[in-house]
Amino acid sequence: MSGLQTQDRGSAVGDGLPVVTRERGQRQVFCGLAGIVWLHRKIQDAFFLVIGSRTCAHLLQSAAGVMIFAEPRFATAILHERDLAGLADCNAELDRVVAEVLERRPDIGTLFLVGSCPSEVIKLDLAKAAERLAAVYQGRVRILDYSASGLETTFTQGEDACLKALVPELPQLPSGDRSLLVLGTLPDVVEDQFARLFAELGIGPVHFLPPRRTTAFPPLGSGTKVLLAQPFLGETARACEARGAELLSAPYPFGIEGTLGWLRAATEAWGVTGEVLDAVTAPAIARAQRGLAHHRESLEGKRISFLPDSQLEIPLARFLQRECGMDLVEVGTPFLDRRLMAEEMGLLPEGVRLTEGQDLERQLDRLREDRPDLTVCGLGLANPLESEGLRTKWSIELVFTPVHGFDQAADLAELFARPLRRAALLRV
Ligand code: SF4
């Protein structure tokens, strides 16, 4: 399949920012349903009811069922082919399935109706269905909808769509109050570490979205400063801004440099001095430096390519190049939101090959020519590339492994060092 290729800098030539090559063509990436894998673990009283096809059910069962071991709080209501006249039956069927789920699971606080891409689902107005069901279950369970269709979302955009659906539900922050809102799913252990650091820095109150339970929604208003923990939440950030919140510009909290820069953005907004920041973070930074030293030995000088997949590529490339000494061969990202990536773009090395979007065949040709030591890609491409003798890392692991913050910096480096060590052992 032929693709399109264009280049731009996004700002004035000579500004030192990397040139971005845009590609359009065939792409290989999960749809937004994948987000349910980590969202259902984080929001403990949420249930995700996917209105979809057998393909959607299969994706969830194989992705979620194989990779996680938790009480599932998701299901797929499979919609068979109907004509428009049959849609009334679909709505009745949906009401019946929702009633059944809620009867069996009285602990559910929020039920998400998740749209997918089969044409029968597109014909169904899920927003109206959510409104109708919300009225029926008012006071007992919140019913929301969002689309994770492969036509509208890729992989991590499913989380963005889910969190955006939560924004109108957040209570109003009283005028004159201020608070920090951290956006993006973080494992509880990482959330607790950040909460402790913010408390030691004298920053607060601090809230996290998504919350662990939907009975404890964070407030939102003009006194809210938003700090993104994940780079793929542009729509949610914009929805928060529409309610008066201010988005803090920061790198993402991967590695020592990213985490320090991320915390610095909050300290500056709160008027906390650099000396306090240095004093509070020094012990964690020393621990992270010790942990990283070991993995740096395996990673230094190794060549890495990222295929566009999770939208985590740019911050991870920055970490691997600046803190682990890796050489960036190509950094592909499915979308580039220049505002959200402003701090990260300036930290990439000059001349790095940065691509936005995908033209799969063309990208694979480049990869085969480059033959990097490690390629970060989706599950679907990993096995074929391994069979060609290329070492790979699954990008989905980076989304549901604790990798944020100082204390996880060494674990993050290890995720990339492990396949290289394994390859070296196999060669021996
Ligand atoms: Fe496939 Fe679309 Fe279902 Fe995703 S939402 S699994 S792309 S049919």
* Position 3 confidence tier, pLDDT thresholds 50, 70, 90: low
Ligand 1: which of 29, 49, 56, 146 to mutate, judged by most atoms within 8 Å of the beta carbon?
A: 56
User: Could you tell me the two tokens for 151?
Assistant: 């036509």
User: Is the predicted pLDDT of residue 88 greater than 80, yes or no?
Assistant: no
What is the C-alpha to C-alpha distance for residues 19 and 251, in angstroms, rounded to an integer? 19
Same domain as 346, residue 215:
no
Q: How many domains does the chain have?
A: 3
- Is 31's C-beta closer than 6 angstroms to any atom of ligand 1? yes
User: Is the predicted pLDDT of residue 246 greater than 50, yes or no?
Assistant: yes
Here the CATH number for the domain that contains residue 119 is 3.40.50.1980
pLDDT of res. 316: 98
pLDDT > 90 fraction of the chain, expressed in percent and rounded: 71
- 197 lies in a domain? yes
Residues 6+ apart with CB under 8 A from 341: 231, 314
- Is 193's C-beta closer than 6 angstroms to any atom of ligand 1? no
- 168 lies in a domain? no
pLDDT of res. 183: 98
What is the C-alpha to C-alpha distance for residues 396 and 401, in angstroms, rounded to an integer? 9
* DSSP H or E stretch at residue 161: helix 157-166
362, 398, 40, 125: CA torsion to nearest 10: -20
Q: Which domain holds residue 313?
A: 4-28+285-427
Of 254, 277, 300, the one marking the end of a domain is 277
What is the C-alpha to C-alpha distance for residues 30 and 52, in angstroms, rounded to an integer? 15
- 161 lies in a domain? no
Same domain as 93, residue 134:
yes
Contact 264, 324 (CB under 8 A): no
- 217 lies in a domain? yes
In this prediction, residues 323-348 reach a mean pLDDT of: 95
Same domain as 147, residue 45:
yes
- Average pLDDT of every residue of the chain: 90
In this prediction, residues 196-217 reach a mean pLDDT of: 96
In this prediction, residues 253-263 reach a mean pLDDT of: 98
What pairing do the DSSP bridges indicate for beta strands 224-228 and 179-183? parallel
In this prediction, residues 317-339 reach a mean pLDDT of: 96
pLDDT of res. 84: 54
What is the C-alpha to C-alpha distance for residues 138 and 43, in angstroms, rounded to an integer? 20
Of 277, 302, 319, the one marking the end of a domain is 277
Of 124 and 273, more confident: 273
* Position 396 confidence tier, pLDDT thresholds 50, 70, 90: confident
Per residue in 11-65, pLDDT (tens digit) is: 434 466 788 889 888 887 788 998 998 999 899 999 999 998 888 888 887 766 6
Dihedral of alpha carbons 234, 240, 243, 245, sign = negative
Of 243, 277, 311, the one marking the end of a domain is 277
What is the C-alpha to C-alpha distance for residues 314 and 320, in angstroms, rounded to an integer? 10
User: Is the predicted pLDDT of residue 395 greater than 70, yes or no?
Assistant: yes
Same domain as 322, residue 254:
no
Ligand 1: which of 27, 54, 55, 155 to mutate, judged by most atoms within 8 Å of the beta carbon?
A: 55
Same domain as 190, residue 319:
no
Q: 57 — phi, psi (to 5°)?
A: -60, -40
What is the C-alpha to C-alpha distance for residues 301 and 194, in angstroms, rounded to an integer? 32
What is the C-alpha to C-alpha distance for residues 109 and 336, in angstroms, rounded to an integer? 35
